[in-house]
Amino acid sequence: MKHNYSLKISSLVFAIALIIESSSAIAQYTLLPSDDVYIRNGNSTSFYQFDNFNNDTLLYVRQPTAHTDDKTNVERSTYIKFDLSSISENIISAKLQFTVLRAVQNPNTGGLPRADFYLLDDDSWDENSLTWSDAPHTWNNPPDQHLFSFSFNIHNTNDPDTAYTFDVTQWVASETDKVVSFFIADTLELGSGTFIRFYSKESALVRRRPVMMIETGGTSVNSDIAVVADRFSLSQNYPNPFNPETRISYSLKEGGNVEMAIYNLQGQKVRTLINQKASKGVHHAIWNGLDHQNQPVSSGVYFCKLISNKKVSTIKMLLTR
């Protein structure tokens, strides 16, 4: 039998070239919000419903156990907008990330640390002027398009801030006007006790600001490669070396239990960053250089170990005080 080796080699070269070309077409973007602001209801002793809170470094979801004259015990909801005009390629993945201050404040007994996420049809609102009184939607008048609801973890007040990532690809990829806005509130009946605080884009802590992480590709081949890219992996922390905090990204091919912990050179566990279930896709964690007793650790080399679905990955990090 005569084999046409030249044809096979040519086909192989073409296939490799196609993969390289398709892979290089994948691009990643990290976008800060163009606008983000929370609105705040008022009461008989204060008139927050007419105030604009654009300059605050935090965003809020608040649903008190009762609406009272206590000026802190009033409803709050968040608006956030992203400008996609800089992206001309096909969007194949979009992840919305918030970092929550010490995870969740939940001071009321029996309260629910939850939030409802909605897509806004009208993107004309502006962070510099939006108030409760003129907002198109409030907690008891939400938008029509409900995306999902989420219950955050309750942590101790000394626990580190926590980054949460939500897959919003199906809604962002279908936007035709290159602008996407979200409304976040607790829309349960008054009395749930929710009190959640996100960092805003005005925060001085740059790596804790809300972001939209987008992957793009020009063809359907890229979509296949993007799925393959959602493998089990632990990326190098950034920045590295770091002080006082660093961001650690990881990817899961499938959902499951995840443990991420920091170890010193002696192999002693310094801190557990994550010990919970996580969905398939890209996630992030922040280590602020504190041990499990919330004490600063000394300068030196540390290891971050990720374990999920019987797979293990480790990176080396350098903390410089």
Q: Is residue 1 part of a domain?
A: no
Classify residue 37 as exposed, middle or buried by CB count within 10 Å of its CB (0-12, 13-18, 19+).
buried
> What is the average pLDDT value for the chain, to the nearest integer?
79
Q: Are residues 155 and 62 in the same domain?
A: yes
Question: CATH number of the domain that 153 lies in?
Answer: 2.60.120
Domain boundary among the residues 174, 191, 217 is at 217
Instruction: Give 205-261 pLDDT, tens digit per residue.
Output: 888 999 999 988 743 333 332 323 457 888 888 888 888 888 888 888 888 899 999
- pLDDT 10s digits, 120-175: 989 999 999 999 989 999 988 899 999 988 887 765 666 678 888 898 988 898 88
Least Cα distance to 183 among 38, 58, 317 occurs for 38
The residue from 217, 244, 277 where one domain ends is 217
- Total of domains in the chain: 2
148 & 291 share domain: no
Domain that holds residue 300: 231-319
Do 186 and 307 lie in one domain? The reply is no
Strand order in the sheet with 281-287: 233-234, 246-252, 281-287
Q: Quick check: is 304 in a domain?
A: yes
- In whole angstroms, what is the distance from residue 43 CA to residue 72 CA? 10
71 and 104 inside one domain: yes
What pLDDT score does 221 carry? 32
Over the stretch 176-197, which tens digit does the pLDDT of each residue have? 889 999 999 988 765 667 788 8
User: Cα–Cα–Cα angle for 153, 157, 162, nearest 5°?
Assistant: 45
Task: Please provide residue 256's backbone torsions phi and psi, each rounded to the nearest 5 degrees.
Answer: 165, -175
Q: Are residues 244 and 177 in the same domain?
A: no
Q: What is the mean pLDDT of residues 280-296?
A: 89
Confirm whether 226 is domain-assigned: no
CATH code, domain with 291: 2.60.40.4070
